[in-house]
Amino acid sequence: MPIKIPDDLPAFRTLEREGVKVMRETDAIRQDIRPLRIGLLNLMPNKISTEAQVARLIAATPLQVELTLVRITDHVARNATADHMASFYRPWEEVRAERFDGFIITGAPVERLPFERVTYWNELRRILDWTQTHVHRVFAICWAAQAAAQHFHGIPKHDLPAKASGVFAQRNRAPTSPHLQGFSDDFVVPVSRWSETRPEDIPRHRGLEILADSDETGLCLVHDTAHRTLLMFNHIEYDSTTLADEYARDAAADPGAAIPRHYFPDDDPARAPSNRWRSHAHLLIGNWINEIYQTTPFDFAEIGATADPAPAQSAA
């Protein structure tokens, strides 16, 4: 089944041009199918690109998925027009009474700030708590993964001496995990962050399982079973040119900005990079959605009503 998104969302046209099957709202209404409801809390500055990146991966599933775009209630996006946000995004306070099969929280360019200095930190903490009663499965990306680790387990993040940027090899630490079904023993993932979460800070006996990591960039994927959350500390959703766009931006501000590692052919920014992570990105999101489909209640009212497994207490 194709993904169901608003007909006039820019990502709709992008995905159609790529040959991705997208369902018009009028067609979805005619189908007597209970679609999976997935929310996207988009904290990335380039809203439109991130919408397309996430929708592209979700659309690869054979299931019908309804994507709802969500924003922080009182935060004004600086890199998206007010019309775009008003037309396509719903503030979290408006959707908090609703329930979702899955909920994705993106990264944000705030990883150099202490958590408490992020202007929307308090609302994000409320959202994370809300996912434990109104969402069946959560997928947190980059800074959002760090935020969830800190909120639920008190795990700190650590500033890096230089930005970790590039495409880095990851080890498959849990080949029997349903989330890594079909994965190679090693694979590559784009990395773009100024901070890290360290494996030695992960508490034992709290339901945290390391699924993938890297010698060069540390933790990549952790399953927080107690909170039904996948923590992706990198950016497996990135397009082929996203790191190139970020490098161009960084180099314009700082001519000495480091070139993303293992990304451009021969480390030459003038050459087009190859996408070596696309298949694993589709596989990971497909596995996550399959897990949702296999376990989510048919009745929305039952989502979050039973422990699956029991959520742990939030860290102070």
Q: Hey, which residues are catalytic here?
A: 142, 235, 237
Asked if 60 and 286 touch (Cβ cutoff 8 Å), the reply is yes
161: which DSSP letter? E
Measured between alpha carbons, how far is 91 from 106 in angstroms, rounded to an integer? 15
Percent composition of the chain: helix, strand, coil (DSSP 3-state, to 5): 35, 25, 40
Measured between alpha carbons, how far is 118 from 107 in angstroms, rounded to an integer? 13
What crossing angle do the helices spanning 47-58 and 278-295 adopt, rounded to 10°? Answer: 70
Kindly report the backbone phi and psi dihedral angles of residue 25, in degrees, each rounded to the nearest multiple of 5, phi listed first.
-60, -35
Taking CA 219 as the corner, what is the angle to CA 216 and CA 221, rounded to the nearest 5 degrees? 130
Measured between alpha carbons, how far is 236 from 189 in angstroms, rounded to an integer? 5
Kindly report the backbone phi and psi dihedral angles of residue 185, in degrees, each rounded to the nearest multiple of 5, phi listed first.
-65, -30
Asked if 107 and 190 touch (Cβ cutoff 8 Å), the reply is no
Asked if 234 and 190 touch (Cβ cutoff 8 Å), the reply is yes
Q: Which candidate, 103, 144, 104, 107, places its Cα nearest to that of 125?
A: 144
The amino acid occupying position 154 is G
